[in-house]
Each structure stands twice: as C-alpha cells, then as structure tokens.
Amino acid sequence: MNEKRPEAQIHRWLAEPLPSDVRRSIERLAVAEDIQHIAVMPDVHLSGDVCVGLAVATRRLIYPAAVGGDIGCGMAALPFDADADVLRDAAAAATLLKGLQACIPAMRHPRKTMPPELPAHLSDQPLSHSRLERRKSRDGLVQLGTLGRGNHFAEFQADDEGSLWLMLHSGSRGMGQAITQHHLAIAGAGRPASALASIDAASDAGRAYLADATWAIAYAQANRLAMIEAICELAWNLFRIPANRNGLIHCHHNHVQREAHFGQDWWVHRKGALPATAELPGIIPGSMGTASYHVTGRGCEGALCSSSHGAGRALSRGEARQRISQRQLEREMDGVWYDPRLSNALCDEAPSAYKDIGSVMRAQRELTRIDRQLRPLLSFKGG
C-alpha cells in the first residue's frame, strides 16, 4: 500500500473566506511531490492548475505552473517632476490617450517601426531549443515594448501630495508563454494528465527551464523599460514634463528563484505574488478605478517573504462579462480618463471585477508597509 504523501505547510493571509474551488486547488497542490510550504496571499484566485496569489517552496523540483505563463510579469512606477493637474481637463487627457495608442502597441509593433534587433543581453543569450530561438528572433523582436491585453496597463496617477506618477504592468508577452508551454510539454511527458508537471532542478531539463525563465524575466524587464522610455518621450513632447528616473521602482511577481527561509534553501515559486523581503520596495496595484500602493516588504518568513501582487480577481473574466454592463463600467470609472470606445471590451476589467484593494492591504499588514497611496487619473489598456 502506498504511503500518503505529507501535506505542505500552508499559511494564509486572507481578505475573505476562500471559495471552494480555490480551496480545493490549494489542497491538491499541497500533496504534490516535494511541495513543502505554501503561502496564500489575500489576492488569491483560481487560474489554471495553480492559483494566482501563491508563493510555493520546494527542495528540488520546479513546477512551471506555479510560475505561470507570463514569466517575469511585473510592475514599474516612475515619478514626473510635474503636478497631477496637468491631466485635469478632457483635452489634455484625450491628447495623452491618443499619444499612448500611437507609441505603445497592445500586441506587436508594425514592422516599419520595430527595432532592427533585440538588445545584446537578450540576443546573445541562447534559449534552450531552436524552436524558442526562432520565436525570439520573430515574436521577441516585434513584441518588445508592447503592453499586452487583459489586466496589463499604463496608468497616470496622483500621489497624496498631488504629484504625477506613471505605473506600468506588463510581462514577457508571447515569449514567456512559449517558454512555459515548451517546458511543460517536456515535464508532462509520460505523466498522467491529472498530475502536476514538475522538473528536477538539477537535471538538464531543469537547468534549461531555469535558464530560459531567467531570459524571460530579463525580456519582461526590458519590455517595461522600453515602454517607459516611449512614454517619457511622449510626456515631454506633449506637456514638457520631465521624468525623474532616479525614482524608478521596478519589480516582478511571476518567477522561481533560490532563497533561504526557515534556515534552509528552497526553490521559491511566486505566481502573482510580490517578493516582500525586509526593506524591499514594491508595487501593489488596485484596479482601473481604485487606489494603488507603493510598499516596502517586512520580511515575513511564514509568507516566504511575499505579499499580494494586486487586488486579485473577484469575478472570472467570463462572469464579469455576464454581470457587468458597459454602463456600469462607465459609472465605476467616473473621474478616471480612459478611452470610452473600449468600454464594451473592458467590462471584464471593471473595478467591481476585482477584490476590494483596501481589504487586501489590511489583510497583509504583517507582510508589507505602505509607503505611498496613489489614485488613478488616466488608464490606458489594450482593447
């Protein structure tokens, strides 16, 4: 008779009771091989085989599904030497939205405007398979400096002192997805369909995944920085407002890395969880119409030094599209500039599709310290 595998230690920081499907998903993960610790963040919600809003520690196995497809997805925030009143009127907001649409593509650059090659630190680092190399030279090139869709955004915000900030959320675009799918196919070969695919970190396959994931993180960072440069140039050309690049905050929330906790070394996977080691700066966004926060980590060991990466979905995209009308979205976005032509496409991104960010922040006071609260002024998303 097979012995029952011991369950992982689970620590929770919750803003509300767990839905039954989320609870079952975490319980399945807890009995998977080599899963030792799970930290559940207050923005946790169902997403594929592993929930968003988890930090997971293993001794030797890597679980690509516990990182997610958008490897390196993360946030950037940048202050401008300007007052937020620059966006007080509709004409200024419309001009900025039009400019953002021109300089930040949602999906890919037109070939006539794309750069001739990837930056050297990306082009010179080979990926583990020729198929991925071909994707790098094709999709990696035309998608560098693009936003993506869904919950990815560029947002202008005001802090409590009335100063102007940019906040950006994007990831590794199609490259992260391609890398994840490639390694999941290798990890899942010969396994039952119900088994969560894993890779031994010390194996050739494990080293290949980790190297490709490191590349995807670098790509995601370069992607955000390329968009920031384009937006800074736009803001200067339109309004003559300079960015304060010394104030840049940059972090990511989908990764796996070696870390020490509880006196041991672990492979810590974060899928929609922000690293929150002591004194580490971070960014926790709300939704299109609600507050966001700049934070500093408190280094809570039980949480694997992690925190939420945002508000977290309260409704799946399908549920949101059924329940939230275009008129409701427009009411919820009162006071925030956005492109009203996209209202129908953005119903699944309405503030009411997300959890209350205030409740999420209160639930994780042990994990992060709030440094700055920001309110949205203008939200730009790909339609």
Residue among 146, 110, 109 at smallest CA distance from 222: 146
Alpha carbons 353 and 195: distance in angstroms, whole number: 31
Alpha carbons 354 and 365: distance in angstroms, whole number: 20
Alpha carbons 334 and 318: distance in angstroms, whole number: 24
309 is catalytic: yes
Query: Strand pairing partners for 49?
Result: none
Q: Are 239 and 63 in contact (CB under 8 A)?
A: no
In 129-202, alpha helices (H)? 130-143, 173-188
Q: What is the CB neighbour count within 10 angstroms for residue 325?
A: 14
In the chain, alpha helices (H)? 20-30, 90-103, 120-123, 130-143, 173-188, 204-239, 317-323, 326-332, 357-363
How do strand 368-380 and strand 292-297 relate by DSSP bridges?
antiparallel
Which amino acid, one-letter code, is at 292? S
Q: List the catalytic residue out of 37, 182, 253, 309.
A: 309
Phi, psi of 93 (to 5 degrees): -65, -40
User: Residue 297's Cα: distance from chain center in Å?
Assistant: 17
**Burial of 375 from C-beta contacts in 10 A (0-12 / 13-18 / 19+):** middle
Phi, psi of 265 (to 5 degrees): -95, 140
Q: Are 51 and 14 in contact (CB under 8 A)?
A: no
Which amino acid, one-letter code, is at 380? F
What is the SS3 assignment for 139? helix
Place of tokens 């919820």: 332
Show which residues are catalytic.
309
